[in-house]
Structure 1
């Protein structure tokens, strides 16, 4: 059974707000005046600094429709993630990509725009994998809709996915439709004492087996593994793997997702995307490993060139995720073909270059 949840704005007020946004964007485009798209600001540290007149995306909030039996939810971009997760939890459902909040007011639009996923990402998929459709305003002030509210609706599907991780450089999100999943019947977290090389080998070996994995984390000699699924399957895997049961597991995974774990207290934090089988990166510093080895968090004072060259040598990339000092280019440099593709997308969606200019790269 489907139902509609009405929050906040009535339809007329919402349409007035959208028209106001469109007019602001059109006028800014005419004047070549930059606009800064902002939600709660919980992820403002991510990427390059933005400037310009602020467009407050939080005024567009509320769950538009939620169909538990269809596993689909549509909400306005300014809707707090906490509000969405509470509605889902009431029906024993969840956002499968386990998005980090990084603040109490984190919004759905900010979640999609940042494109960040939590501990479950390697086993359930990323944000973009669950975006079914979006409604947005492009850099010309036009209201556009891509995708739909069902998985079989493929019209514009890839375009809606482009919004994930675009950091507001392609448009102002108004609504997002997401596929959701049921909560697992049971979850259990195990911990093993082992060296990093042994842990990387174990995570990759286990990932190739039907072991109900839903999260992995290695730090300072301890490999922590979460199992999710049917109760019988979880118990069977636990007997096979052994390990010590972690009692306060929810608190641990929350600390990793929200970067409240003591490791993340470092002032300078690098996010390394590497092949899961890559050995430990040869750079001084402390590491925390997630996603079966594919995500390596690095706290290091080494310079950007050294870290990026080391990551590239292993077939990966390095992003300066957080730093007390502003960085000219926090993201890994793009190859010439990729840079051209990004610039063409920016030109198509934001021909006047007014939406969060320079947020991702100096060139766009």
Structure 2
């Protein structure tokens, strides 16, 4: 139900109402650290970075409520003081990212395959719809939802339903123990090991297989991060090293490496040519090696695969990915902006119909998410 606008900065609601009346598009801006992601949109900027602050944090209840313009780094620092974290490891990409942008983008880091993604931790949200109404959905506790869970639908919506102003999130304590193992394995062998280990009760939290250099002599490495109880992590380390060889990394070195993987600052994520796009392939964890002629970095126990390729390869990439029941996204464009190439695969008729109904309900004047 709509709430009184006096609880929020008047200019935000007034700007949305004025835009709706004039049918003028708006472009929601927070820290702009993820502006590259998704289809380009146009409109007058609607700035949320100033609407910040942690509304409440109940460490014993594992719940935090925070305003959308709050810097993500600020929230993570407050949680860390209480030994807590956002377990899905949202990427920062650059300084200044906001909590609202984190939810709207719906992106998760290396631990996503084992702990879930952003929407799994959204308990409730407040947002301004395309009519300029302030709406509240969900709450501060996990519970069954009758009907459509709108607060979680906001995760990954890229601002197409409205302006997120506040969100309640479930948080978790830091794991008691952590270890990173590294194995020298080719892509096929690495995937086989991950598939085998995935069917066993092991505390595998994240994985990354990479070959930065396409030279035949370059090592192909699989990194596996374990998190959980001390005894469980130690036992798993002993078992995996016995089964596949490898070594255990020092956590002081591994921690920054995983952060670089999360924020795409590893050498792999530097394009060798300005005309290349960064493609993200989302596939089942058990998918085999995808026969494409470009080097790959593989995360999420096989479910997320990255590669650099030109836009002219869109058909080849999407056909190969669809063959293993996956889909391909242009995550970052090259210097030409990838004209004529959709960033995302086409939605199925069912998902497309649901998406259009939601957008019509919440933003009837279509002021959000207008293509550039």
Instruction: Please name the residue that 1:317 is paired with.
Output: 327
Contact kept in structure 2, 1:60 and 1:174, CA below 8 Å: yes
Instruction: Please name the residue that 1:237 is paired with.
Output: 236
Aligned partner of 1:64 among 36, 55, 77: 55
Contact kept in structure 2, 1:97 and 1:120, CA below 8 Å: yes
Instruction: Please name the residue that 1:3 is paired with.
Output: none
Instruction: Please name the residue that 2:346 is paired with.
Output: 333
Tell me the matched-pair count.
Answer: 347
Aligned partner of 1:347 among 345, 360, 368: 360
Give 1:22 deviation, angstroms.
1.5
Instruction: Please name the residue that 1:8 is paired with.
Output: none
Instruction: Please name the residue that 1:362 is paired with.
Output: none
- Distance verdict in 2 for CA 1:68–1:262, change over 3 Å: same
Contact kept in structure 1, 2:5 and 2:13, CA below 8 Å: no
Instruction: Please name the residue that 2:299 is paired with.
Output: 290
Contact kept in structure 1, 2:284 and 2:326, CA below 8 Å: yes
1:29 lines up with 2:20 in the alignment: yes
User: What TM-score comes out, normalization by structure 2 length?
Assistant: 0.90
Counterpart CA distance in 2 for 1:204 and 1:99 is 25
For the residue of structure 2 that corresponds to 1:275, the secondary structure is coil
Counterpart CA distance in 1 for 2:147 and 2:194 is 36
- Distance verdict in 2 for CA 1:76–1:156, change over 3 Å: farther
1:269 lines up with 2:275 in the alignment: no
| 1:233-289 Cα distance to aligned partner (Å, 9 max, x none) | 111111111130122100110110000000000242000001111112222111000
1:307 lines up with 2:317 in the alignment: yes
Counterpart CA distance in 2 for 1:213 and 1:49 is 36
- Distance verdict in 2 for CA 1:74–1:115, change over 3 Å: same
User: What TM-score comes out, normalization by structure 1 length?
Assistant: 0.92
Counterpart CA distance in 1 for 2:227 and 2:6 is 40
Give 1:16 deviation, angstroms.
5.2
| 1:140-170 Cα distance to aligned partner (Å, 9 max, x none) | 1000000000113636771110000000010
1:260 lines up with 2:265 in the alignment: yes
Counterpart CA distance in 2 for 1:182 and 1:32 is 45
Counterpart CA distance in 1 for 2:183 and 2:92 is 28
Counterpart CA distance in 1 for 2:163 and 2:8 is 16
- Distance verdict in 2 for CA 1:339–1:153, change over 3 Å: closer
The two structures, once aligned, show a CA RMSD in angstroms of 1.7
For the residue of structure 1 that corresponds to 2:164, the secondary structure is strand
Segments of 5+ residues of structure 2 without an aligned counterpart are: 212-219
Aligned partner of 2:134 among 138, 143, 148: 143
1:218-237 counterparts in 2 under 5 A?
Answer: 218-220=209-211, 221-237=220-236
Instruction: Please name the residue that 1:185 is paired with.
Output: 176
Counterpart CA distance in 1 for 2:316 and 2:54 is 46
| 1:301-336 Cα distance to aligned partner (Å, 9 max, x none) | 352111111111111000000012323411111122
Counterpart CA distance in 2 for 1:341 and 1:78 is 28
Give 1:104 deviation, angstroms.
0.7
Instruction: Please name the residue that 1:15 is paired with.
Output: 7
For the residue of structure 1 that corresponds to 2:49, the secondary structure is helix
Aligned partner of 2:254 among 236, 249, 257: 249
For the residue of structure 2 that corresponds to 1:59, the secondary structure is coil
Counterpart CA distance in 2 for 1:14 and 1:42 is 30
Counterpart CA distance in 2 for 1:356 and 1:53 is 11
Contact kept in structure 2, 1:188 and 1:245, CA below 8 Å: yes
Give 1:92 deviation, angstroms.
0.7
Counterpart CA distance in 1 for 2:5 and 2:80 is 29
Give 1:94 deviation, angstroms.
0.4
Give 1:338 deviation, angstroms.
2.0
Contact kept in structure 2, 1:120 and 1:215, CA below 8 Å: yes
- Distance verdict in 2 for CA 1:228–1:14, change over 3 Å: farther
| Greater displacement, 306-315 / 107-116 | 306-315
